A and B are shown apart, each in its own frame.
Chain A
Amino acid sequence: MSSIAVATTINDDDVEFLCQPDETLLDVLRNRLGLMGAKEGCGTGDCGACSVIMDGRLVCACLVLGAEAQGRTIETIEGMATGSELHPLQRKFIEHAALQCGICTPGFLMAAKALLATNPNPTETEIRFWLAGNLCRCTGYDKIIRAVQDAAAEMRGEIS
């Protein structure tokens, strides 16, 4: 099996890597590029811990081949903050105690970011169904929902 050369954009940076044809984007990010923020909770697209945004769409990095990244634009948790300034979602997750163990947090943040990009004022039900592909076993989701609602309000310019 020979490696494939891939040129892609990750968090606004041009990135080139070699990968095996059957290697997932998640393995490329974690093992070849040192971007370990995406977590492998299942490897089968059932937990959302490896969520990244590819060409504007939320996807599980474990269900994308590294080779498919060619020419695409990928956003990961490592690119969410602007320099030392956290994204409102990141800040609100901390403020609302929306994480306990934190393993699902990068995936939730990417999923919530994708949601607010298309729907800046989601209802609780819309948030819950959008985030249904992200499993959290610690929080019961309550504080996660509140953090997303609060961040959305702040991003809409409403005082929170």
Chain B
Amino acid sequence: MRYERPETIEAAIALLADAEAKSFVLAGGTDLLVRMQNDTFEADLIVDIKSIEGMDAVTQTDDGFLIGAAVSAAALSENAALVAEWPGVVEAANLIGSTQIQGRCTMVGNLCNASPAADSVPALVAADARVRIAGPDGSREVAILDIPTYPGKTSLTKGEIIVAIVLPKAATRSGDAYLRFTPRTEMDIAVVGVGINLTLDEGGVVAAARIALGAVGPTVSLVEEAAKALIGSKLDQAALDALASACSAASNPIDDKRGTIAFRKQVAGVLARRVAQTAYTRAGGK
């Protein structure tokens, strides 16, 4: 196995594109190094992208934020402008693992690990974030939802690297939030995760809504029916009930060591209500 630390994105792409067998990108390493502990893990190449310029930067642009692939969750929470504009995204990233993990883990890594339970992904989907991909055939930008295809699998092709997350500028009178359910208060994988981004009109009525669910299907999903339940409402009881029902109905979870199907479906609805209320308040709704 080789460890490489290229200083340009081109060099990183070349390394990955030329690699004959199993190769991995290393940013925070909090998933990759766990996999490496496994007796059956095999890798020929690990490409550490942290020395590439810009990878550890959060840049505010006219269109929003550009978050480098190696920015840790802890660094996100230290960026006041980002926290003010996308509190839900930042709080989601800072629910991943422990303080120790948050010092290393990245949202891109969380996305590329392709776990349906990834905390930051529903929040990013709700925020309508995109990713910037660099590869042997040039760059492209795709929606977050297009990356994970199945637990542990992504749509990235050989040699491709996600270089940044592109967060749009938050709309006026909008707010986002994320909540997850875990048995413990910390150090757990989401049993259900819900990310919501709401935009209100001048009268405090929900004009746009994006609602994403995690850990209740093979990939994170965007629930259109749930958005419909809220649009046009001021989050009255009927709208929240409809939201909860839509989220429960859209959940297609499995029974596993972390939760049952019935539990996940029910709690998806419960969390959705709570997250919607936080997002609504953050958007300025009363």
A residues near B (Cβ < 8 Å) are: 1, 4, 21-22, 24, 43-46, 48, 51, 54, 57-60, 62-65, 67-68, 70, 111, 114-115, 129-134
Knowing that A57-B103, A111-B99, A132-B187 are A-B contacts, what are 16 other residue pairs whose CB atoms are under 8 Å apart, sorted by A's residue number?
A: A1-B1, A4-B3, A21-B1, A22-B46, A24-B33, A48-B98, A58-B103, A59-B103, A60-B100, A64-B33, A67-B48, A68-B48, A114-B99, A129-B185, A133-B99, A133-B101
B43 within 8 A of partner (CB): yes
Q: Is A22's CB under 8 angstroms from B5's CB?
A: no
Q: Is A59's CB under 8 angstroms from B26's CB?
A: no
Interface centre among B74, B101, B103, B104 (most CB of A within 10 A): B103
User: CB-CB < 8 A to A59: which residues of B?
Assistant: 100, 103-104
Q: Is A65's CB under 8 angstroms from B103's CB?
A: no
User: CB-CB < 8 A to A24: which residues of B?
Assistant: 33
Smallest Cβ-Cβ distance to A131: which chain B residue: B99
B29 within 8 A of partner (CB): yes
Given A57-B103, A58-B100, A60-B100, residue A70 in contact with residue B5 (CB < 8 A): yes
Given A48-B98, A63-B30, A133-B101, residue A43 in contact with residue B3 (CB < 8 A): no
Given A21-B3, A45-B34, residue A111 in contact with residue B29 (CB < 8 A): no
Given A63-B33, A133-B98, residue A21 in contact with residue B48 (CB < 8 A): no
- A68 and B30 CA atoms in complex are apart in Å by 13
One digit per residue, 1 when the CB lies within 8 angstroms of any chain A CB and 0 when it does not, for chain B 36-68 equals 110000010010101000000000000000000
Smallest Cβ-Cβ distance to B46: which chain A residue: A21
Q: Is B29's CB under 8 angstroms from A22's CB?
A: no
Using a Cβ cutoff of 8 Å, how many contacts connect chains A and B?
87
Smallest Cβ-Cβ distance to A132: which chain B residue: B186
- A51 and B185 CA atoms in complex are apart in Å by 20
Provide a sorted-by-A list of 28 A–B residue pairs whose CB atoms are within 8 angstroms.
Answer: A1-B1, A4-B3, A21-B3, A22-B36, A44-B34, A44-B37, A45-B33, A45-B34, A45-B97, A45-B100, A48-B100, A64-B29, A64-B33, A65-B3, A67-B3, A68-B50, A70-B5, A111-B99, A114-B99, A115-B99, A129-B185, A129-B186, A132-B98, A132-B185, A132-B187, A133-B99, A133-B100, A133-B186
User: CB-CB < 8 A to B30: which residues of A?
Assistant: 45, 63
User: CB-CB < 8 A to A22: which residues of B?
Assistant: 1, 3, 36, 43, 46
Smallest Cβ-Cβ distance to A26: which chain B residue: B33
Q: Is B100's CB under 8 angstroms from A51's CB?
A: yes
B residues near A (Cβ < 8 Å) are: 1-3, 5, 26, 29-30, 33-34, 36-37, 43, 46, 48, 50, 72, 74, 97-101, 103-104, 185-187
User: CB-CB < 8 A to B97: which residues of A?
Assistant: 45, 133
User: CB-CB < 8 A to A57: which residues of B?
Assistant: 72, 74, 103-104
Interface centre among A48, A54, A57 (most CB of B within 10 A): A57
- A63 and B100 CA atoms in complex are apart in Å by 9
Measured CB to CB, the closest approach of chain B to A105, in angstroms, equals: 16
Smallest Cβ-Cβ distance to A55: which chain B residue: B103
Measured CB to CB, the closest approach of chain B to A111, in angstroms, equals: 7
- A21 and B34 CA atoms in complex are apart in Å by 15
- A65 and B3 CA atoms in complex are apart in Å by 10
- A58 and B72 CA atoms in complex are apart in Å by 12
| Among all A-B residue pairs, the 9 with the closest Cβ atoms | A133-B98, A132-B186, A21-B3, A57-B103, A63-B33, A60-B100, A133-B100, A44-B34, A67-B3
User: CB-CB < 8 A to B1: which residues of A?
Assistant: 1, 21-22
- A80 and B5 CA atoms in complex are apart in Å by 31
Measured CB to CB, the closest approach of chain A to B226, in angstroms, equals: 30
Q: Is A65's CB under 8 angstroms from B34's CB?
A: no
Measured CB to CB, the closest approach of chain B to A120, in angstroms, equals: 16
User: CB-CB < 8 A to B186: which residues of A?
Assistant: 129, 132-133
